């Protein structure tokens, strides 16, 4: 009896892994839940990417509906979404960047090379703000209302289809 079990154990493990992976295909990665929806953006005190001596807090940045985009130079998907962020910024959408667990000089050079769609970029070298937000990785985008409340979260690349499906209605409803 134990010999038969040993012979079938690899097959049972294979079937279990196959079922697990198949069920993961049904999930949309951009729809990861966030406990912060409907809550205030976390308070922080971090420097601007462009200045090691100038600290920012969320109260410095609130007062209008904004997208908060978590990005990094090591993030391939961030490079893919960057042109669309530029397009949004040029159409008047206010975007704040959070440079996440990155090298300051590399991030500044990246924005100089690719263009800077951000009103301001927060330098989150150690990922403390990312931790407070529950960031899984980059890119992630949060929609924050004028009172500083998180309305929506997107994990993954923000493009035209995602914008129309997940974000544009908030802007239409707000009149911004």
Q: Please state, rounded to an integer, the average pLDDT across all residues of the chain.
A: 87
pTM, two decimal places:
0.80
Chosen CATH of 30-174 out of 3.40.50.1820, 3.30.300.130, 3.40.30.10, 3.90.79.10: 3.40.30.10
- How would you list the strands of the sheet with 95-100, edge to edge? 51-56, 46-48, 120-124, 95-100, 66-71, 140-144, 150-155
Cα–Cα distances in angstroms (integers) from residue 23 to residues 15, 88, 155, in the given order? 12, 34, 19
Largest alpha-carbon pair distance within the chain?
A: 71
Q: What is the pLDDT of residues 148-162, one digit of tens each?
A: 999 999 999 999 999
**Under a CB-based contact definition with an 8 Å cutoff, are residues 170 and 176 in contact?**
no
Would you kindly state where each structural domain of the chain is located, as residue ranges? 30-174
Q: What is the pLDDT of residues 64-111, one digit of tens each?
A: 999 999 999 999 999 999 999 999 999 999 999 999 999 999 999 999
Q: Give the integer Cα–Cα distance in Å for 128 and 107.
A: 18
């Amino acid at each position: 009896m134990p010999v038969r079990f040993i012979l079938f154990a690899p097959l049972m493990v294979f079937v279990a892994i196959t079922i697990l992976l198949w069920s993961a295909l049904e999930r949309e990665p951009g729809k990861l839940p966030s406990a912060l929806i409907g809550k205030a953006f976390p308070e922080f005190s971090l420097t601007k990417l462009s200045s090691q001596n100038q600290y920012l807090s969320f109260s410095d940045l609130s007062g209008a509906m904004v997208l908060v985009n978590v990005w990094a130079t090591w993030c391939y998907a961030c490079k893919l979404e960057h042109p669309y962020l530029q397009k949004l910024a040029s159409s008047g959408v206010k975007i704040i960047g959070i440079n996440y667990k990155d090298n300051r000089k590399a991030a500044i050079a990246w924005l100089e090379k690719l263009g800077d769609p951000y009103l301001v970029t927060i330098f989150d070298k150690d990922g403390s703000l990312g931790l407070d937000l529950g960031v899984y990785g980059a890119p992630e985008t949060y929609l924050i209302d004028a009172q500083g409340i998180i309305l929506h979260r997107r994990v993954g690349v923000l493009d035209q289809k995602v914008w129309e499906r997940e974000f544009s209605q908030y802007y239409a409803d707000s009149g911004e």
